[in-house]
Structure 1
Amino acid sequence: MINLIEIADFERRARDNQKRLTANLKPSYDFIVCGGGSSGSVIARRLAENADCQVLLIEAGGDDEAESVLDPALWPTNLGSERDWGFQAEPNPHVDGRALSMSMGKGLGGGSSVNVMVWAQGHRSDWDHYAAESGDPGWGADAVQRIYRRIENWQGAPDPHYRGSDGPVWVQPAADPSPIAGALLDAAQSLGIPRFDSPNGRMMAGDGGAAISDMLVRDGRRHSLYRAYLRPWADRPNLTILTDTLVRRIFFTGRRASGVEIERAGEIRSIGVGCEIIVSTGAINTPKLLMLSGLGSRADLARLGIPLIEHIPGIGQNLQDHVAFCCTWEYRQPLAPRNSGSEATLYWKSRPELTAPDLLLCQVEFPVPSERTAALGVPDHGWTMFGGLAHPQSRGEVRLASADPHVVPIVDPAMLSDPADVETARACVKLCRDLGGATAFGPFVKREAIPGEGKPTDDRFLRDAAVTYWHQSGTARMGRDDLAVVDATLKVRGVEGLRVADGSIFPTIPTGNLQAPCAVVGERAAQIIRDTYRL
């Protein structure tokens, strides 16, 4: 009873505090964080821990108070809703002219409030590559592992070398997983793929393997990065959380970012910044906001009549995503999904000579066809192997369609445009089918429904089956060459007072789901800023 009273008291204080703060916006804040997603929530919290800092977080979407967010089983209902930006890719000739859905979370928590709740730290080689690209060992695997230990409140078997136990993020293995998840792990072992207690830590320091998924679920409810980091701080007088507010553009005084133009309830106004603006709006909206603010390709901005602040041609380039191919099996008897409906994951290599996994596979405990492969016949009851390319070679781009902030940008992921990805995709689908056809699934599976027993894995199937993991990244990448957008400290090149901190900064897409790496980006950005300003 005491705990419930304390919770109710906090809820009241936080609600009243935010109502007061948002009704009386200041003309200027020390720090403005654009975007309340997986990285922005972390940054705003860490900066607000210093009571002398006035922090404004601006989120285009609303709050996370909805069963579709908080109930892990309801995550698919957020797709296409008001909690989804609903981006649509350009028609892609490499997938037979199909225009794929590019869903992205909109609202407090961003993707971490609408995704499948999987916690994947990325492979050791990812982080060492980022350190090499940036020239900063602080992005390397050893340094990042220390950050993960600080982030996590790990609820599985103790693993002090890899896992933390007193951080803000509650991470646990999927609770009481379905027997179909256990069958996948057995099937993987029968194919020579090792089984691990967790898909993080030791498993992601070598060739890969299979494991029950780690998830951000606490007491049966989604534990988003907003819930982990920012919500417990909502009663603080120095943290303003402004929802349902669009950041239209960033203002500059000379070459220094000096404020933002926002739109809220039909009113447009400007808010100044004393120290820095941090852009954490995601790999599609981040380049859009930067370009609307005068940063980007000189020619592209001139064509739309946007005054140039700094020629940064790499903004919007290097778009990457995990393309996936879904194979489906019909159950012998209906088997209800558990947890989020995705409880087992697997990382493996398409070729034995590779030193790290290039395939990302997760099991989904219900049928997931593409709009094309649905024509092959979707069983009423079945499960799906959602197999994807962990390190695609194809590169796309995000471009402005207009200087109007309300006009959606052009998103061209160019999936499967690199022939190497087609070869890897064939190996990926073969592995999916080998897993589903393994003896371990005998008690559960009646038949292979998609592609269908005896049917070849040809290029037509790959084009028809291709979908996305919704892991867009890379469009404001970190590096030291002329196409890099930010440096190792995440400062935007050529200007002052502006950083980018979200999934757009990765030079190459991480191996696995993005919310855990984005939390690391948030932690790194916040620590760099705190060190810079001696906070």
Structure 2
Amino acid sequence: MEESNFAREVQENQARLRAELRTSFDVIVCGSGSSGSVVAGRLAEDPDVNVLLLEAGGDDASPTIIEPGQWPLNLGSCRDWAFEGQPSRHLNGRRLPLNMGRVLGGGSSINVMVWARGHKADWDCFAEESGDPAWGYDSVLNYYRRIEDWQGGADPLRRGAGGPVHIAQPSSPKPLAEATVEAARLMGIPRFGSANGEMMEGPGGAAIAELLIRGGKRQSVFRSYTYPQMHKPNLTVLTGALVTRLIIEGKTAVGVEAVVDGQVLRFDAGLDVILSLGAVHTPKVLMQSGIGPEAELHRHGIPIVQNLPGVGQNHQDHIAFGCTWEYLQPQEVGGGGCEAVLYWKSESRLSVPDILQCQLEFAVPSPPEVGIAAPDHGWSMFAGLAQPKSRGQLRLTGASPTDPILIEPNSLSEPEDMAAAFRTVELCRELGNSSLFTPLVKREAVPLQRDRAGMERFIRNSAVTFWHQSCTAKMGRDAMSVVDAQLRVYGIDNLRIADASIMPKIPVGNTMAPCVVIGERAADLVKASYAGRGSP
């Protein structure tokens, strides 16, 4: 079917489903981000399963989403929840901006489009924490082979072909990206042809980035998984639908309450409710539905349905520090502006990278506290922490869905993170000041040479995040775990979580690709459960 005809069929079908909105479905998926889109799309492949996908944001038709280079324009817009962390003494009193997608596709519609699958050790940790080898690296490779339509060199052991997600490196990386990976090689950091194969089974390396860009346009996870199913009568995608609470009878989730077009509506689920609202709103909805730490719920007068002390705890995010160089003359920006990535170790004794560096081919302004203006033309490297030790938390401000949630990232609170921060900035400066950049770069603009006290001030004043919030409803077997290996919420039937909040620890690299695996795994688990109970 021609693309324009399919788009018309999707539009007409979804308009009809909204006008004749049902109140009962087999499965309700809350949130259309990088996990929720996968769950909804996979389950809708079965015509006998009626699926409702609820998304608080709007559609993904904006040019700022479709055009890769326009992604910064989404930050702070109606397509961004634009969360902020609480003021932190570890950041000299600053608040961290914590952007998160509020649109069909969630973060995959407003992010930098980097496909980073996580390190082998990350997935083996998931398997260890959950007690289930199905979460281990060898098993997850099977999922990635199913997911990917990899456009690069053949690697049948590690890479997939023909899957729903189009993954490609830039066909002609800009000179800046080539200089970056070559400068890393000369520093003793091995260069790889792919950042998602052998490189992420050992100590790391540098590579040209892999991106979700197809035909010069963003290819979000929503467009890869959900949109191809939206012409079907068994998939209702409802935008502008803010999930406010779970409907629980006894110890069973039977539906959700959501505000749609200003009205509070109830939707019933015959089989499962899947929370895929992300690492902020998933724990918020859980707590405001009576599932969470007993003391926190008592504090706000919320009746306790299930005491789970880990809800809202264990908050993790990748923290980064922008280092910037001024160009000799303006340079063309490729793709979404990120064409090179580096994962390496802050100490030689480590076997797994704990440093994450992501290059942007334009100058990113530092927070005002740094006190240095960005050059008119330049490039920045986000020198980040891939395995932060600091842990934060989320707290309610009230029992109402309109009451905001407090996010306390607690970034740089652990001494190990500050030590690694010094090393990632040192490595970044050594890289960026390589003679290989001489034909392109006039000077280092940020942070410049400083004594140790001055560099510590820079680190605390410049810290931003990669917007990879995660781990706030973790999978595991200890008292702080929220879901089991099947992604089922402990103590509540017919309720699962599928998003970054279930990660026991944040993976090395961007979180989009691991969230797609979580979505695939969740869909498989739901399918197996309703097959066991009889077809819907």
Please state how far the C-alpha of 1:355 moved relative to its aligned partner: 0.6
- Aligned amino acid, residue 294 of structure 1: G
Alpha-carbon distance between aligned partners in 1 of 2:125 and 2:201, rounded to the nearest angstrom: 13
Which position in structure 2 is the counterpart of 1:160? Answer: 156
- TM-score normalised per structure 1: 0.98
Alpha-carbon distance between aligned partners in 2 of 1:124 and 1:299, rounded to the nearest angstrom: 37
Which position in structure 2 is the counterpart of 1:90? Answer: 86
Which position in structure 1 is the counterpart of 2:22? Answer: 26
Which position in structure 1 is the counterpart of 2:98? Answer: 102
1:118 equivalenced with 2:114 (yes/no): yes
- Aligned amino acid, residue 34 of structure 1: C
Which position in structure 1 is the counterpart of 2:56? Answer: 60
Unpaired runs of 5+ residues, structure 2, are none
1:300 equivalenced with 2:296 (yes/no): yes
Q: Is the 8 A contact 1:373 1:450 kept in 2?
A: no
Alpha-carbon distance between aligned partners in 1 of 2:18 and 2:138, rounded to the nearest angstrom: 41
Alpha-carbon distance between aligned partners in 2 of 1:128 and 1:372, rounded to the nearest angstrom: 40
Give the SS at the match of 2:379.
strand
Alpha-carbon distance between aligned partners in 2 of 1:27 and 1:287, rounded to the nearest angstrom: 25
1:191 equivalenced with 2:174 (yes/no): no
1:501 equivalenced with 2:498 (yes/no): yes
Alpha-carbon distance between aligned partners in 1 of 2:374 and 2:516, rounded to the nearest angstrom: 37
Which position in structure 1 is the counterpart of 2:510? Answer: 513
Which position in structure 2 is the counterpart of 1:242? Answer: 238
Shift in alpha-carbon separation, 1:374–1:460, aligned structure 2, 3 A: closer
Please state how far the C-alpha of 1:465 moved relative to its aligned partner: 1.1
2:467 to 467, 470, 491: 470
1:313 to 305, 309, 315: 309
Identity of aligned residues (%): 52
Which position in structure 1 is the counterpart of 2:407? Answer: 411
Give the SS at the match of 1:458.
helix
Q: Is the 8 A contact 2:365 2:373 kept in 1?
A: no
Please state how far the C-alpha of 1:493 moved relative to its aligned partner: 0.4
- Aligned amino acid, residue 489 of structure 1: Q
* Residue correspondence of structure 1 range 251-330 to structure 2 within 5 A: 251-330=247-326
Please state how far the C-alpha of 1:400 moved relative to its aligned partner: 1.0
Q: Is the 8 A contact 1:317 1:397 kept in 2?
A: yes
Alpha-carbon distance between aligned partners in 2 of 1:153 and 1:219, rounded to the nearest angstrom: 14
Give the SS at the match of 1:275.
strand
1:381 to 369, 377, 380: 377
Alpha-carbon distance between aligned partners in 2 of 1:381 and 1:375, rounded to the nearest angstrom: 18
Please state how far the C-alpha of 1:458 moved relative to its aligned partner: 2.1
Alpha-carbon distance between aligned partners in 2 of 1:332 and 1:207, rounded to the nearest angstrom: 34
Q: Report the number of matched residues.
A: 531
Q: Is the 8 A contact 1:34 1:280 kept in 2?
A: yes
Which position in structure 2 is the counterpart of 1:73? Answer: 69
Alpha-carbon distance between aligned partners in 2 of 1:429 and 1:103, rounded to the nearest angstrom: 23
Please state how far the C-alpha of 1:303 moved relative to its aligned partner: 1.5
Unpaired runs of 5+ residues, structure 1, are none
Alpha-carbon distance between aligned partners in 1 of 2:221 and 2:378, rounded to the nearest angstrom: 31
Alpha-carbon distance between aligned partners in 1 of 2:231 and 2:325, rounded to the nearest angstrom: 49
- Aligned amino acid, residue 226 of structure 2: L
Q: Is the 8 A contact 1:323 1:388 kept in 2?
A: yes
Please state how far the C-alpha of 1:175 moved relative to its aligned partner: 3.0
Q: Between 297-306 and 373-382, report the one with greater CA deviation.
A: 373-382
Please state how far the C-alpha of 1:13 moved relative to its aligned partner: 1.1
Deviations 1:158-198 (A, max 9, x none): 11111111100000012321100001011101110000111
Alpha-carbon distance between aligned partners in 2 of 1:174 and 1:226, rounded to the nearest angstrom: 22
Q: Is the 8 A contact 2:370 2:458 kept in 1?
A: no
- Aligned amino acid, residue 328 of structure 1: T
Give the SS at the match of 2:371.
helix
Shift in alpha-carbon separation, 1:44–1:150, aligned structure 2, 3 A: same
